[in-house]
Amino acid sequence: MEGGSTPEPGLATDPRAAEQQLLASLDSAHREALKLSVAAARPVADAVLADLRDVTGRMTGFTDADQPRTVDEQYRVKELPSLARKFVDAHALEGTSPEDFLAEVNDRVRFSVLTPEHRYGEVVTTVLDSLTARGYTVDDVKNFWRPGNRHNGVNVTLRSPDGFTLEVQFPTEASRAVGKQTHQLYEIIRLETATPEARVDAYLEILRLNRVNGIADRMPAGMDRLPEAIDTSFEKWTRRKPAVWADYQRRLAEQGVTFAEIVAERGLTPADFPRGERLGLPDGDVRVSRGVPAQGTGADRQPDSGVGGVADPAAGGAVERPAGEMELRAGDRGADDLRGRGDGEDGAGRPGDGGAGGPGRAGPGAADRGGAAPDLRGGREPGDHVGIPRPRADSDLHGPADPSGPADALSGASMRPRDESRAWEWADRAYDRFRADDLDVPDIARQLRGPSVQTGRWGTARRRSPT
């Protein structure tokens, strides 16, 4: 389906109806295997829930209002139709068997631990430390707290003491509230049978709700304890879904509409789109130019408000940046550490779809915390505690740089992860490494010695001054 972005005839574009159709389309053996896996997951989920309740209940120094606790426990086992949708995607791409799929999928059992903003990083690391001490293994930690992301939170893939792969998410009160508002929109985004317009519109509406609720201003404390945030911006999504984006752009062109106009009508600005220039957005203000009021406003409507009563900044029509307001883009840092002022992944109170099983095995056993929550950075290599895996370095992509390195390390090309989310992270890391490495420049220059260039000169030197 993803190769072409037009929905197949007869398939529903309502997410729940589409999942039911996909479940019904499975052959009986595949459907029965998934059904049995759901039943097998329930006792595992009950045991993990007991551990999480005990771990969070033992944490001290919190008020009743901000005590970390499990929430939305009714969603702790992934429902059969949702599991079927995920299996159909994997089976269509690679012919994955139910057995291989179930061995890799990481969210058949999933939980959310409501985490206070002011002690966020501390709570995440303390919970993982406590679970590791009980025999759990942390396989992967994904941090999605990043300006411009669709979803904000931390998703962790673990293995239970019996080896069952599961997911724990760490929403804040604000990100959980936004997640509940946007969950149905997220279901449209991930639905391959939905039209390009429906999927893009759903994504833009999520970004609008993020803006209305001021989620970029609710960056939790203690993020320096966690791995670097992953990019789940709209621009990144368009690169993952090139056919969808191309189809959407073509239809906009047929209507004589620009994407910048659509953005303005949504009450969004280029500041909501990291690397927006690739999407055709100007580096500055975008104004509504087609006489269409920004969403959330109008003569018969009050401006939208969100978490904490934050008013819609788009109210009033044209979208302009107030004088003196600082525009923050992903990666910006000011003198006073602007990370707090600011993509999986769901955050709707029910954990959303994660990736497949973690890319590696974490070290066994818990680190000695000395009574304090460990820091993922702060003088240590990330992952040097509580079994949290260290982010993969360049040497993980193309073998050890030092020939005396581990004998069992990769020495040539690396394996592309099967999970789509991890595959894109893998590709991005490889691309960054290729751009930073100039060792092949002499070879490239040698190959280009013969052809003429526009100046009439022949050949290409390693470094040439502008003419």
Task: Specify the DSSP element, H or E, that contains 372.
Answer: none
Length of the chain: 467
Q: So what's the architecture of 15-309 in CATH?
A: 2-Layer Sandwich (3.30)
What is residue 356's predicted lDDT score, i.e. its pLDDT?
A: 41
Apex 232 CA angle, 226 and 233, nearest 5? 125
**Residue 419 pLDDT:** 58
CA distance 74 to 62: 25
Nearest partner of 116 among 167, 49, 59, judged by Cα: 59
76 closest CA partner among 160, 181, 142: 160
Q: Which of 343, 144, 316 is nearest to 236 (CA)?
A: 343
C-alpha span between 201 and 192 (Å, rounded):
14
Query: pLDDT tens per residue, the chain (467 residues)?
Result: 333 334 443 444 577 787 788 888 888 999 899 999 999 999 999 999 999 999 999 999 999 999 999 999 999 999 888 888 888 877 766 778 888 888 888 889 999 999 999 999 999 999 999 999 999 999 999 999 999 999 999 999 999 999 999 999 999 999 999 999 999 999 999 888 899 999 999 999 999 999 999 999 999 999 999 999 999 999 999 999 999 999 999 999 999 999 999 999 999 999 999 999 999 998 654 444 444 444 443 333 333 434 443 334 333 333 343 344 333 333 333 333 323 333 444 555 455 544 444 333 333 333 333 344 444 433 334 344 444 554 444 334 334 444 444 444 333 455 556 555 566 666 766 666 665 666 666 666 666 665 544 444 444 444 444 44
Q: How many CB atoms lie within 10 A of CB 162?
A: 8
pLDDT at 414: 55
**Rg of the chain over all Cα atoms, to the nearest angstrom:** 24
Range(s) of the chain covered by CATH 3.30.460.10: 15-309
Dihedral pair phi/psi, residue 77, rounded to 5°:
-115, 130
Pairwise CA distance, residues 5 & 194, whole Å: 8
What strands, in cross-sheet order, belong to the sheet with 165-169? 69-71, 110-114, 165-169, 154-159, 137-143
Contact between 204 and 268 (Cβ < 8 Å): yes
DSSP 8-state secondary structure symbol assigned to residue 155: E
pTM: 0.62
What pLDDT is attached to residue 324?
A: 41
Give the per-residue pLDDT at 465.
41
